[in-house]
Structure 1
Amino acid sequence: MSLRDVELKSEYRSLIDNVAKDFYIPLLKQAVTYKRAVGFFSSSALAEISKGILGLVNNGGTIQLVASPHLSDEDVEAIKKGYELREKIIENALIRELHGVNTEMEQERLNLLANLIADGFLDIKIALTEQNGEIGMYHEKMGIIADSEGNKVAFSGSMNESATAMTMNYEAIDVFCSWLDEKDRVTSKENAFTAIWNNTEPSIVTIDFPNVKEEIIKRYRRSPVIDVVREEFGDYVYISRKPSTCWISKPDYVKFYDYQIDAMISWENENYRGIFDMATGTGKTYTALGALEVLCNKVKSNLGVFIVCPYQHLVEQWVTDIKAFGIKPLICYSGYDWKKKYKSLISDFKLGVIKNFCVVTTNATFASENMQKEIDKLKGNVCLVVDEAHNFGAKKQLECMKEVFKYRLALSATLERHHDDEGTQKLKNYFGNKCIEYSLARAIKEDKLTPYYYHPIPIYLDDDELEAYNELTEKIIKILQNSKKDEPMPKLAETLLIKRARIIAGARNKLKALYEIIKERYVTENQILVYCGATTVENSSYIEGKIDEEEKRQIEIVVDMLGNNLGMRVSKFTSEENAAEREMIKENFADGTMLQALVAIRCLDEGVNIPGIRTAFILASSTNPKEYIQRRGRVLRKAPNKPFARIYDFITLPRNIDEPMHGSEYLNSEYSLIRREYERMEDFASLAENSSDAAKLQEKIDDFYKLNYIGGKDYGI
């Protein structure tokens, strides 16, 4: 990027615009030189100049700052009468403006400036006017920012480098760009600054005060390495010019977006407890590891970390990222010989033999007696990080949310548990407030996820499927009518609900519709995913590594249909494949020549990262928002040469809406099914590039079922 890539306005006004975030920071991140005349010199001005400059420093850039001294009437009178040398009076006045530090934020920012002066990145000179023996203040406020390609932005106006000027006073700046027809204005500003800096501007005296710079270093420098600097206007900026000495350290290739930095700030402000509610595909893992680095710095690397994931393959994905941050984790789940190592690790930490540790494990292993018994012995700085935290609301995991974990972080695209308000509330009570809510809509708008086209494909149940669906519904209703509201759902009702969900997920007409669409449009295309009909990942009978026979049957039918009938290069992608097999399949899929399509189940719910997916066919008709939001988010991950994605969603209807109705009444259960499918379709369509396509289908469904007459009434289960 360069300065040309930053979207700029011709003027900024402080009470209308966020000048720091919208102007300074994005420009300085692309810059190699920053020349600034700021008005009066003060510690406040020094602190404010820090906005965005770490990007410039990481680019090998430099800053030149010209300021005017605050001279009292006594100072001016003393200079006139020659009581002392002029330079000494001004020097004393400058040092007088170096006030004490009031907040931790101010401390860190002045520490940064002191380090930049000491390391030669920042130079400061003082300017004042002198004419006919009279001393005056140099008040011009301007700046010139330049990048490595020679592009320059000049600005001038009434704004000082102070928090008050940027937020409270009504200040304004005008902006000029060298690549537009304003080049002469930019050149004029830069020439004026250069003349002032070199002390060649008539009637302006510019003086270097090395003693003042030494005083700044002496007063404000606290450490030679600044790992994190808080930005008052909502940014954390990481500086990588010196290696971090922290146990957890961000690799250079990882760059944080503003929203990730905001989350870290908020988590710290919440005393290192909170929830990262971030859309799938927006970097929850890196954000969490960045937050752990902030905490690690705070506690001087004396920290124990537990990272808990719902599934084994998620543990393995975390391990890769954890190692990149310089941590060697202990992996704990079945298949690893972890119990003795784990017990020794906890003992060594408790006795002070080691300062830190990181355990990565699954929900099931974390809840086991072997692991919890050692956790109960822990004291000190221990942090619990839970990925896909909505899964952590099950009873067994809730019992593991203990006070021994001083620091807590929950990660989830959708923390709310479907039909489990109590479990959701317990999660919120334990982990704390949301530190960020980064929605799918915002992620698409800010180009962190790919835009998409949504194609709802209506299919209908065959007569026997509809009959079985209605019979199961009646049985479920009877069971629930005889159970108490405050008690958990009876096991028999849960079993029947799963059977009913399988009817919808595996409806025969979905396969017919899938065959026709792929045959007509996608036989020669690649990077296709067909997501088969999982009932629910929160199914209590679900065992990782095993596929339900009904689900397996649908996968095999689709693989046979695409591979044998249509001659496509296809592979299944399920929890039955081991980690090595999955990685090979993902590589071949990303290449596009070895594999055209994946036929998968659960992987979109469980967190597998396959960013290359361009076209997704979702056969699973989930009514759980957590599930379908995650599935959509994983399809929308950014990838090279992927300007958009397409999602085909098979909308299951009780009857064929293109045929005339037989009979005048529908069962309430039919309306219930329509409502659930309708809600998902509405959600998907709301963010799609072609929302009108879904609206046409919705209108047809409305007309056929006369939905406008039934209002918001809840019809059955």
Structure 2
Amino acid sequence: MPLSELKIETEYRSLLTDISGEFLIPALREAVQYDRAVGFFSSTILSNTSYGIEGLVKNGGKIRLVASPYLTDDDIAAIKAGYKQRDDVIKSVLHKEMKEPENEFEQERLNLLANLIKDGFLDIKIAFCDNDSQVGMYHEKLGLITDSCGNTIAFSGSMNETNTAINVNYEAIDVFRSWTNEFENERVNKKRNAFTAIWNDSEPGIEVISFPELNEVIIEKYKKSDIDYNTFETVFPPVPTILKKRKTHSELPCRPDKPPFYDYQEEAIDTWASHGFQGIFDMATGTGKTITALGSIVRISDEFHGKLAVIIVCPYQHLVEQWVEDLEKFNISPIIGYSESTQKNWKNRLESAIRNQKLSVRGKDFFCFICTNATYSSEYVQNTISKIRGKCLFVVDEAHNFGARYLSELLNENFQYRLALSATLDRYGDPTGTKKLYDYFGDKCISYDLGRAIKEKKLTRYKYYPIIVSLNDDELNKYSNISKSMQKCLVKAKDGTYKLNEKGKKLAMARSRIVAASESKLQALLKEIGPYKDKYNILVYCGSASLPDYTRDKLEVYEEETRQIDAVTDMLGNKLGMKVSQFTSKENVEKRELLKSEFASGDNLQALIAIKCLDEGVNIPSIKTAFILASTTNPKEYIQRRGRVLRLAEGKEYAEIYDFITLPMPLGSSIYMTDESKNLTITMVKNELARAFEFSRLADNYVESNAMLDDIREEYGIEEEDYSFVEEFDYYE
């Protein structure tokens, strides 16, 4: 069977999946080549290399193993001082690691390994860093598995070939498959080229050598008997206790040991349970809404002895994937539904799960289905979940979206148990939609705002720097002309307020784009980011004024929205020579995870230039400095963006936010504006101030930032109580 027909995930975590049983063994049984760089050399590494190897050997395959000697400070010092020859030191270290087998299982696997070396199936080389006589340890961990059809799997991550790494530590590996798509194939080729360069001793800074006598010592020490490769089976150790517990545990939700739950999370769960398992978690971004919700799922599952269906709905597919990672930590293997789901048979799984629960099939009382808003609203899903007859918990992430008319119509009254999650549940300018949410989900079980989160150190402190820019003459004329046209698009609503008709909303969108893409922001950014051109963990947010489309599984980036992000990318990458990458909905899940990893490590990537994707749930805690070029006028979105910048991360004492405030004219120049021109642009100023004062009020340097904002307020004659948010899509002043 070719590797392409196996179920290979893009990531494995050792305490959540049996990496050997679910990944390594099945893949190696179909392989003809196994290339592995494993970190430090040891007898345990040798013994664990035998996992799944019988299939590869029967296929006539080969194994190439690269390991590094574990050199102590004394070893390195001796080599540097010339007291001992380098090769002698390395030989001595390798011999020390050739320990006696700990049990009969390890003895039999080492016997197998010795036979593989003797019979030419396995070749071992030793790698170490050797740069200007500075000897160090080569510690890369990667693997490549290739089948007879040329399909290749590449994997890398924190896992060594040790019992502890595979079965006890919390290790993770990323997996790339050559047959899946261009991105994964490119990653496989890079890994293959890297290993080939190392194996052939052509990788700069790394020296790779063969020790013929090492093979002889391994054979002499560990070979106990000959092996018939046509009939042998690999010997595996007893299942470790932690895996045994996971495998024999019923397929019901349970809390992991980590992360610990905070008191406020426990109180939220208790309150929700006391309200009949209905309610709202109003929690600032970064305070653990998802984990609190998962704890709630465990609580209600325990209450009903696992006889429960759980439906979780998220706006977009990247949020679904983030949820899936956390669900697995709580012993929940969800059915994953959206257009590009890796579970191609998710519809069959969902139908089977509902049928099994209805028929009370033993061990099938609990199931979890997670999907996007778009998938949830599809006719298929609505028809299918209508067949659920047992107890059902309905969980909605970013629940403010369900106040929209077409989604609010899908708030199923048959779901007795409900949980809404949002940092900003109240829908600005939409009291009707807000009321629908409270009527359906019930009361707030917790209200944990951003100020409390910063005070209690669940989010990091920050400094806020408003950067004043202005429209040029052409932009100002266009903005004013659109404002005049919008005045003709007002219609009186039933509640007596005036709102924009559909044409007016499109005009408001066009007007917002003028503010978002003001040319003056690029030069201002170039000046402000200059001192940071050699620093890392930088986010540049290029906003968009388009409305989110929840009929799609992922956020879309439209052509007109790419101009600013492309210009910023060119400026930072080419003019300043920074290492940057775009981070948009165009990048697939795997590419995003790679970018997040490289961004966090700070090795190859200084800045992410983003658009849209931070509005709905993407978590990048390592952001230290954010340059926000544009924001929508919706407080929900810019409050969420700030919360994502403030997530805690190692080494992050505080965050910095540079917010570009757009005015009709440079500060101090409004005296030259006519009254008509001021009236046509006052909405812009009010909305910019609404956001700026909200950002400033919790900042460490709020005195300085408020002083600048007060200058704007006074110049435009705006009273303190009058700079609150004005919803352009509903009102016009």
Question: Structures share a fold, TM > 0.5?
Answer: yes
Checking the alignment, whether the CA contact within 8 Å between 1:651 and 1:677 is kept in structure 2 is yes
Distance 1:543 1:428, change over 3 A: same
Q: Secondary structure at the match of 1:358?
A: strand
Is 2:468 aligned against 1:463? no
Amino acid at match of 2:616: E
Q: Secondary structure at the match of 1:529?
A: strand
Is 2:326 aligned against 1:321? yes
Checking the alignment, whether the CA contact within 8 Å between 1:669 and 1:716 is kept in structure 2 is no
Counterpart in 1 of 2:686? 675
Checking the alignment, whether the CA contact within 8 Å between 2:373 and 2:550 is kept in structure 1 is no
Checking the alignment, whether the CA contact within 8 Å between 1:308 and 1:386 is kept in structure 2 is yes
Q: Secondary structure at the match of 1:534?
A: coil
Report 1:624-639 matches (<5 A).
Answer: 624-639=634-649
| Equivalent-residue separation in structure 1 for 2:621 and 2:285 (angstroms) | 11
Counterpart in 2 of 1:276? 281
Amino acid at match of 1:348: N
Distance 1:576 1:660, change over 3 A: closer
Is 2:432 aligned against 1:427? no
Distance 1:698 1:245, change over 3 A: same
- Deviation for aligned residue 1:244: 8.0
| Equivalent-residue separation in structure 2 for 1:483 and 1:423 (angstroms) | 15
Checking the alignment, whether the CA contact within 8 Å between 1:303 and 1:383 is kept in structure 2 is yes
- Deviation for aligned residue 1:699: 2.7
Distance 1:471 1:530, change over 3 A: same
Is 2:295 aligned against 1:290? yes
- Deviation for aligned residue 1:539: 5.8
| Equivalent-residue separation in structure 2 for 1:618 and 1:483 (angstroms) | 35
Could you list the per-position Cα deviations for residues 493-549 of structure 1 after superposition, in whole angstroms to 9, with x for gaps in the alignment?
221111111111111111110011112x11111100000021155467988353121
Counterpart in 2 of 1:348? 356
| Equivalent-residue separation in structure 1 for 2:722 and 2:281 (angstroms) | 36
Is 2:709 aligned against 1:701? no
Report 1:77-96 matches (<5 A).
Answer: none
Distance 1:545 1:446, change over 3 A: closer
Checking the alignment, whether the CA contact within 8 Å between 1:391 and 1:538 is kept in structure 2 is no
| Equivalent-residue separation in structure 1 for 2:507 and 2:536 (angstroms) | 38
| Equivalent-residue separation in structure 1 for 2:670 and 2:400 (angstroms) | 43
Counterpart in 1 of 2:609? 599
Q: Secondary structure at the match of 1:603?
A: coil
Q: Secondary structure at the match of 1:661?
A: helix
Amino acid at match of 2:513: R
Could you list the per-position Cα deviations for residues 81-138 of structure 1 after superposition, in whole angstroms to 9, with x for gaps in the alignment?
xxxxxxxxxxxxxxxxxxxxxxxxxxxxxxxxxxxxxxxxxxxxxxxxxxxxxxxxxx
Q: Secondary structure at the match of 1:657?
A: coil
Counterpart in 2 of 1:501? 512
Distance 1:302 1:618, change over 3 A: same
| Equivalent-residue separation in structure 1 for 2:722 and 2:514 (angstroms) | 27
Counterpart in 2 of 1:249? 254
- Deviation for aligned residue 1:712: 7.5
Could you list the per-position Cα deviations for residues 52-85 of structure 1 after superposition, in whole angstroms to 9, with x for gaps in the alignment?
xxxxxxxxxxxxxxxxxxxxxxxxxxxxxxxxxx
Amino acid at match of 1:518: I
Could you list the per-position Cα deviations for residues 262-312 of structure 1 after superposition, in whole angstroms to 9, with x for gaps in the alignment?
100110010100000000001111100001111111000111000100000
- Deviation for aligned residue 1:393: 1.6
| Structural RMSD (CA) | 2.4
| Equivalent-residue separation in structure 1 for 2:615 and 2:286 (angstroms) | 12
Counterpart in 1 of 2:14? none
| Equivalent-residue separation in structure 2 for 1:360 and 1:679 (angstroms) | 36
Checking the alignment, whether the CA contact within 8 Å between 1:330 and 1:342 is kept in structure 2 is yes
Q: Secondary structure at the match of 1:638?
A: coil
| Equivalent-residue separation in structure 2 for 1:606 and 1:342 (angstroms) | 26
Report 1:189-268 matches (<5 A).
Answer: 247-268=252-273
Checking the alignment, whether the CA contact within 8 Å between 2:549 and 2:555 is kept in structure 1 is no
Distance 1:489 1:659, change over 3 A: closer
Checking the alignment, whether the CA contact within 8 Å between 2:372 and 2:553 is kept in structure 1 is no
Amino acid at match of 2:509: I
| Equivalent-residue separation in structure 2 for 1:492 and 1:451 (angstroms) | 42
| Equivalent-residue separation in structure 2 for 1:541 and 1:385 (angstroms) | 19
Checking the alignment, whether the CA contact within 8 Å between 1:502 and 1:533 is kept in structure 2 is no
Q: Secondary structure at the match of 1:418?
A: coil
- Deviation for aligned residue 1:704: 2.3
Structure number with bigger Rg: 1
Distance 1:502 1:484, change over 3 A: farther
Amino acid at match of 2:390: G
| Equivalent-residue separation in structure 1 for 2:670 and 2:443 (angstroms) | 52
| Equivalent-residue separation in structure 1 for 2:600 and 2:722 (angstroms) | 46
Counterpart in 2 of 1:37? none
Distance 1:660 1:671, change over 3 A: closer
Q: How many residues align?
A: 476
| Equivalent-residue separation in structure 1 for 2:340 and 2:720 (angstroms) | 57
- Deviation for aligned residue 1:367: 0.8
Could you list the per-position Cα deviations for residues 641-671 of structure 1 after superposition, in whole angstroms to 9, with x for gaps in the alignment?
0000000011111111144732552431322
| Equivalent-residue separation in structure 1 for 2:723 and 2:625 (angstroms) | 34
| Equivalent-residue separation in structure 2 for 1:311 and 1:341 (angstroms) | 21
- Deviation for aligned residue 1:481: 3.5
| Equivalent-residue separation in structure 2 for 1:246 and 1:710 (angstroms) | 55
Is 2:699 aligned against 1:662? no
Structure 2: gaps (5+ residues): 1-244
Checking the alignment, whether the CA contact within 8 Å between 1:343 and 1:374 is kept in structure 2 is yes
| Equivalent-residue separation in structure 1 for 2:325 and 2:547 (angstroms) | 24
Amino acid at match of 1:695: N
Counterpart in 2 of 1:84? none
Checking the alignment, whether the CA contact within 8 Å between 2:548 and 2:555 is kept in structure 1 is no
Counterpart in 2 of 1:620? 630
Checking the alignment, whether the CA contact within 8 Å between 1:572 and 1:600 is kept in structure 2 is yes
Q: TM-score, normalised by structure 1?
A: 0.64
Amino acid at match of 2:639: I
- Deviation for aligned residue 1:251: 0.8
Checking the alignment, whether the CA contact within 8 Å between 1:502 and 1:550 is kept in structure 2 is no
Amino acid at match of 2:683: S
Counterpart in 2 of 1:589? 599
Could you list the per-position Cα deviations for residues 378-411 of structure 1 after superposition, in whole angstroms to 9, with x for gaps in the alignment?
1221000000001122222112111221110000
Amino acid at match of 1:502: R
Q: Secondary structure at the match of 2:666?
A: coil
Report 1:56-455 matches (<5 A).
Answer: 247-336=252-341, 337=344, 338-353=346-361, 354-455=364-465
| Equivalent-residue separation in structure 2 for 1:309 and 1:484 (angstroms) | 32
Distance 1:415 1:483, change over 3 A: closer
Amino acid at match of 1:506: A
Counterpart in 2 of 1:185? none
Structure 1: gaps (5+ residues): 1-239
- Deviation for aligned residue 1:482: 6.8
Q: Secondary structure at the match of 2:603?
A: coil
| Equivalent-residue separation in structure 1 for 2:251 and 2:264 (angstroms) | 23
Distance 1:560 1:613, change over 3 A: same
Checking the alignment, whether the CA contact within 8 Å between 1:457 and 1:648 is kept in structure 2 is yes
Counterpart in 2 of 1:510? 521
| Equivalent-residue separation in structure 2 for 1:500 and 1:628 (angstroms) | 18
- Deviation for aligned residue 1:692: 1.4
Amino acid at match of 1:690: N
Checking the alignment, whether the CA contact within 8 Å between 2:317 and 2:338 is kept in structure 1 is yes
Q: Secondary structure at the match of 1:667?
A: helix
Counterpart in 1 of 2:701? 690
Amino acid at match of 1:389: A
Checking the alignment, whether the CA contact within 8 Å between 1:246 and 1:297 is kept in structure 2 is no
| Equivalent-residue separation in structure 2 for 1:375 and 1:658 (angstroms) | 60
